[in-house]
Amino acid sequence: NAGVTQTPKFQVLKTGQSMTLQCAQDMNHNSMYWYRQDPGMGLRLIYYSASEGTTDKGEVPNGYNVSRLNKREFSLRLESAAPSQTSVYFCASSELYEQYFGPGTRLTVT
Amino acid sequence: EDQVTQSPEALRLQEGESSSLNCSYTVSGLRGLFWYRQDPGKGPEFLFTLYSAGEEKEKERLKATLTKKESFLHITAPKPEDSATYLCAVQAENYGQNFVFGPGTRLSVLP
């Protein structure tokens, strides 16, 4: 089992560019999440999906969109990247309350 | 406002020197409190879930406890490989699927 996988591992964007972060899990979990982690601020929830076909906003959704493609995959899209979106992005999945995280994507927006 | 705080921000221990990390929370309707370990450049790794005051969980040199206002992660006779950032998170009744994470405690264990 690979657990939770994320691509890419690193990305540099210019302001205004768009990109999609990919996440997949092989644990047959219903719930999936996208977080961002910034120094001194802890993990903050961007969006989550409680089940296939549903998505909901978290604490910091502005500037992001998500797609729950199927039970395995949950993608995060930045339509017009801004320097404030420079961060490390983590995807997670869970069946109940115990979350399993991917290795993260380090994104820099210049 | 619901809050999760952790102290200390950073902690340096000598190998074998036991200590505790604190996670304080102000939420109503706690569903669960979670501890994670995060190594540099990696995603958080799940350690424990605590559901009610008085509950304790143990794993190797780590022991997590929970009261109505805080949780402690006790580290007994730590080794250098215990060096990591330890995160706590809470899930509450009015959160839906949302989790609120604390900022973490960065632990360094020196040989």
Q: Could you tell me if B68 lies within 8 Å of chain A, comparing CB atoms?
A: no
Does A97 contact B43 at a Cβ distance shorter than 8 Å?
Answer: no
Q: Is A71 helix (H, G, I), strand (E, B) or coil?
A: coil
Does B43 contact A90 at a Cβ distance shorter than 8 Å?
Answer: yes
Contacts of B98 in chain A (CB under 8 A): 45, 48, 58-59
Choose the weakest-confidence range: A53-62, A94-103, B25-34, B88-97: B88-97
A46-55, long-range: CB within 8 Å, 24+ apart, which pairs? A46/A76, A46/A89, A47/A76, A48/B97, A48/B98, A49/A74, A50/B96, A50/B97
Beta bridge partners of A74: A68
**Mean pLDDT, all residues of chain A:** 94
pLDDT-based confidence at residue A7 (cuts at 50, 70, 90): very high
Does B45 contact A101 at a Cβ distance shorter than 8 Å?
Answer: yes
Contacts of A33 in chain B (CB under 8 A): 97, 99
Does B96 contact A42 at a Cβ distance shorter than 8 Å?
Answer: no
For residue range B19-74, what is the model confidence (pLDDT) as tens digits?
A: 999 999 998 888 899 999 999 999 999 999 999 999 999 999 999 999 989 999 99
